[in-house]
Amino acid sequence: MTSGRQGFFALFEHLDSTVEACKALRAKGHKGFRAYAPLPEHHLLEEGLGLTRSPVRVFTLAGGLTGAATGFAFTSWTSVDWPLITGGKPILSIPAYVVIAFEMTILFGALATVIGLFINSRLPNFSPMVAYHPECSNGSFGIYVAAPAAQANEVRDILEGFEPAELREDPEGFDV
């Protein structure tokens, strides 16, 4: 079984050529390519790939609100479940429960953020590291494109135009 697509992995030594190559690919209508970087380089992400918003924030908000609600609900319910006056305080001592609700907000919010990150960035990812180059965690940038056979030459020309340090071709292009 072949995917009918051709994979290209280009390794770049310079940031600007990577950003420009991404822009050129997007200008030609290529979408499903991946750029690799050894650091969260905002030029590459925002300028080169047009990434701005991340759905992780929804997870954070949902987690935080769940935590706050859980904190208040739990403390209030346990107090009402066995009403026992301590220290002359009201059974529902809301100001005291704010502390618990606050900590639960942070805890649930943080854990939900991590879950959101893992879901959105597809981690953990233990599949074989085919479309990857170890230099991408060191000092270089990379681009992986899986192009339909008809566009293979166009993609090759674009990538070569930015003088990659290395250009690997993979006859079985796949989505990464």
Partner 1 sequence: MATAESELRRRGALPHPDVGKYSDVNRDVLKVLSRPGKGWWILFSIALAGVGIFFLSWFTQIVRGIGVSGLNAPVGWGVYITTFVFWVGIAHSGTLISAILFLFRAPWRQSIYRAAEAMTVFAVMTAGLFPLIHVGRVWHAYWLVPYPNSRFLWPNFRSPLVWDVFAVTTYFTVSAVFFYLGTIPDLAAARDQARGLRKKFYQVTALGWRGTDREWHHFSKAYIYLAALATPLVLSVHSVVSWDFAMSIVPGWHTTIFAPYFVAGAIFSGVAMVITLAVPMRKFFGLEAYLTVKHFEAMAKLCLLTATIVLYAYLTEYFLAWYSGEPPERGSFWNRAFGSYWWANWIMLTCNGLVPLMLWFKRVRRSIAALFVISIFINIGMWFERFVIIVTSLSHEYEPWAWGLYRPSVVEMGILLGSFCWFGFWFLLFTRLLPPVAIAEMKEVIPPPMRGVKEAS
Minimum separation from the CB atom of position 59 to partner 1 (A): 8
Which candidate, 31, 3, 17, places its Cα nearest to that of 142? Answer: 17
Q: Which of 7, 116, 164, 173 binds partner 1 (CB under 8 A)?
A: 116
**Alpha-carbon span 63 to 116, nearest angstrom:** 10
Footprint (CB under 8 A) of partner 1, residues 8-47: 13-17, 20, 34-45
Footprint (CB under 8 A) of partner 1, residues 141-160: none
- Helix 15-27 to helix 152-161 angle (10° resolution) is 150
Q: Which is nearer to partner 1, 4 or 172 (CB)?
A: 172
Footprint (CB under 8 A) of partner 1, residues 44-73: 44-45, 49, 51, 54, 56-57, 60, 64
Which candidate, 134, 68, 75, places its Cα nearest to that of 106? Answer: 68
Footprint (CB under 8 A) of partner 1, residues 87-106: 87, 89, 93, 96-97, 99-100, 102-104, 106
- Is residue 83 near partner 1 by the rule CB under 8 A? no
Minimum separation from the CB atom of position 15 to partner 1 (A): 4
Q: Which of 7-15, 151-159, 166-174 is the region at the interface with partner 1 (rule: CB under 8 A)?
A: 7-15
**Alpha-carbon span 120 to 54, nearest angstrom:** 8
Length of the chain: 176
Residue for token digits 């949902």? 62
Q: Where are the beta strands (DSSP E) in the chain?
A: 5-12, 34-36, 141-148, 166-170
Q: In terms of DSSP bridges, do strands 34-36 and 5-12 run parallel, antiparallel, or are they unpaired?
A: unpaired
Q: Which is nearer to partner 1, 54 or 153 (CB)?
A: 54
Q: Which of 3-11, 138-146, 151-159, 167-175 is the region at the interface with partner 1 (rule: CB under 8 A)?
A: 138-146
